[in-house]
């Protein structure tokens, strides 16, 4: 079980946390003793979302904590209790009454305590939470572990997280769960994965395709594909300094599929899981691929390079073609693919694309239930012609300035045909400013929603 949690049988002496909105504060106060009510009124506590008040004992200890949540009619941040792990003094606490969702509140408590400690010591919080009644400690732990794995990988700077190090992370996960792994590296990519090789060949850090499998071949096949661009200069179409600043997170898709893989394997779902990660560094050298170059993809589609900074879809294309060859039940790819997605929906709400209405409905339901927001965007077929090339089967970028996230999804769709369902997630994998349960920095997006969907189908 996650070290921040305490089993319910060990709750003796733990400090109660009372959740109240402006509409429920009076009802909560009647459950407290008279000195606590007097102190609360004297302090002028307003039960607004995120505010807290520590109620003292006569001896100076902590008698209880009041924490403000939204009213019944307001839009609710189900991760708001995630602030508590960073706010409260050391000690063991329990939820005296339920926040809007006790399970998500407990998960947020753990996620909010995350610290990236590779390069400096962690701040000692010493805050622990008794698992609320009805909350599965093992389940919440595997989710929190997966999220922490993704955050650690994304937060690691590129000098310590290149293609080889991303492979090491995949191998460690495979070893943990008894999965098989095969890796194709460097010039061995040329014949079968030419687009992956083209993007990565300018870097002295050899590109590779990581292929991990777990489970029985007789079980339903689920394949995850994650963009593993460990740093993206933009290539010869070089990014400016601000555009390049956070490109260590351009392998966020790979990090999130590894997080999801951990959740699935730890749960022991009856699936045959496959994880494909094209891991590259998009660098600049005399060996770099160039605008107007043309490459024949694994699928046989020829691609003209309209912009070397649209490299993510190229490496995904070869991996998706490989995934599609065994016609799995589902292919899901995750990628920090387009700035257009951020313009449309911002950093917190990743778009997803699929032609399967049933899958889309399930994803939307689980995204809401898991507080892992997603928004379906259209695979608008009339825009497909924007990818036309005069001398190749297609261009890697649109001929227009609009609908960049949609045209990127349409590009990827051409490499999937046999799978029973496919979904593409254009994630940001980063929190620009800290939010409840989400510290600033690398973030695991879409994985929890997709995990819930697969657990519901195959659990």
**Between β-strands 15-20 and 62-68, what pairing exists: parallel, antiparallel or unpaired?**
parallel
User: At 208, which helix (H) or strand (E)?
Assistant: strand 208-214
According to DSSP, the residues that pair with 213 across neighbouring strands are 180, 274
* Tokens (6 digits) for 195: 């687009």
DSSP assignment of 250-280 equals GGHHHHHHHHHHHHHHHHT-SSEEEEEEEEE
Contact indicator for 322, 278 with CB cutoff of 8 Å: no
Tell me 438's DSSP state.
B
Distant-in-sequence, close-in-space partners of 405: CB < 8 Å, separation ≥ 6? 337, 338, 340, 341, 344, 351, 377, 426
Nearest alpha carbon to residue 407 among 335, 341, 334, 321: 341
Measured in whole angstroms, the distance separating CA 97 from the mean position of its chain's CA atoms is 30
CA–CA distance, 176 with 272 (Å, rounded to integer)? 17
Q: Rounded to whole angstroms, how far apart are CA atoms 430 and 336?
A: 10
> Which member of 37, 51, 171, 239 is catalytic?
239
Q: Angle at the Cα of 332 (from 329 to 335), degrees rounded to 5? A: 170
Secondary structure class of 454 (helix, strand, coil): helix
Token digits for 287? 């060996």
Beta pairing, strands 422-426 & 430-431: unpaired
Is 342 a known active-site residue? no
Burial (CB < 10 A; 0-12, 13-18, 19+), residue 212, is: buried
Q: Are 428 and 347 in contact (CB under 8 A)?
A: yes
Catalytic residue list contains 239: yes
Residue in 313, 342, 414, 448 annotated catalytic:
313
Distance CA 170, CA 261 (A): 10
Six token digits for residue 416? 């999937």
Task: Give Cα separations from 73 to 22, 110, 153, 414, 417 (angstroms).
Answer: 11, 27, 38, 44, 45
Whole-angstrom distance, CA of residue 3 vs CA of residue 20: 27
Please identify every residue annotated as catalytic.
239, 313
């Amino acid at each position: 079980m996650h070290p921040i949690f305490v089993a319910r049988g060990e709750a003796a002496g733990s400090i109660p946390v009372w959740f109240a909105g402006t509409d429920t504060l009076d009802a909560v106060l009647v459950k407290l003793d008279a000195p606590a009510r007097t102190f609360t009124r004297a302090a002028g506590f307003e039960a607004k979302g995120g505010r807290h008040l520590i109620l003292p004992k006569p001896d100076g200890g902590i008698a209880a904590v009041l924490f403000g949540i939204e009213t019944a009619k307001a839009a609710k941040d189900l991760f708001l209790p995630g602030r508590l792990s960073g706010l409260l003094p050391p000690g063991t606490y329990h939820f005296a009454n339920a926040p809007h969702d006790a399970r998500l509140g407990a998960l947020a408590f753990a996620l909010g305590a995350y610290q990236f400690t590779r390069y400096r010591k962690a701040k000692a919080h010493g805050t622990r939470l008794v698992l609320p009644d009805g909350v599965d400690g093992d389940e919440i732990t595997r989710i929190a572990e997966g999220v922490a794995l993704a955050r650690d990988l994304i937060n690691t700077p590129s000098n310590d997280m290149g293609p080889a190090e991303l492979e090491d992370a995949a191998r460690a996960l495979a070893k943990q769960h008894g999965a098989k792994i095969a890796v194709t590296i460097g010039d061995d990519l040329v014949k079968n994965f030419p687009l992956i090789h083209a993007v990565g060949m300018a870097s002295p850090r050899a590109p590779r395709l990581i292929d991990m499998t777990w489970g029985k071949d007789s079980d339903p096949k689920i394949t995850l594909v994650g963009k593993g661009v460990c740093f993206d200069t933009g290539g010869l179409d070089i990014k400016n300094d601000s555009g390049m600043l956070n490109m260590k997170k351009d392998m966020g898709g790979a990090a999130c599929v590894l997080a999801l893989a951990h959740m699935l394997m730890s749960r022991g779902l009856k699936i045959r899981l496959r994880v494909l990660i094209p891991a590259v560094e998009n660098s600049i050298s005399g060996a770099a691929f160039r605008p107007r170059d043309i490459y024949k993809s694994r699928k046989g589609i020829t691609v003209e390079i309209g912009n070397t900074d649209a490299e993510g879809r190229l490496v995904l294309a070869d991996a998706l073609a490989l995934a599609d060859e065994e016609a799995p039940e589902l292919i899901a790819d995750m990628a920090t693919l387009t700035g257009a997605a951020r313009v449309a929906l911002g950093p917190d709400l990743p778009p997803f694309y699929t032609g399967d209405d049933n899958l889309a409905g399930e994803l939307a339901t689980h995204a809401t239930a898991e507080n892992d927001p997603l928004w379906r965007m259209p695979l608008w077929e009339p825009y497909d012609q924007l990818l036309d090339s005069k001398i190749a089967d297609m261009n890697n970028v649109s001929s227009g300035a609009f609908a960049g996230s949609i045209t990127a999804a349409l590009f990827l769709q051409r490499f999937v045909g046999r799978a029973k369902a496919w979904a593409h997630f254009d994630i940001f994998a980063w929190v620009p400013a800290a939010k409840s349960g989400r510290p600033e920095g690398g973030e695991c997006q879409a994985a929890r929603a997709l995990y819930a969907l697969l657990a519901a189908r195959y659990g």
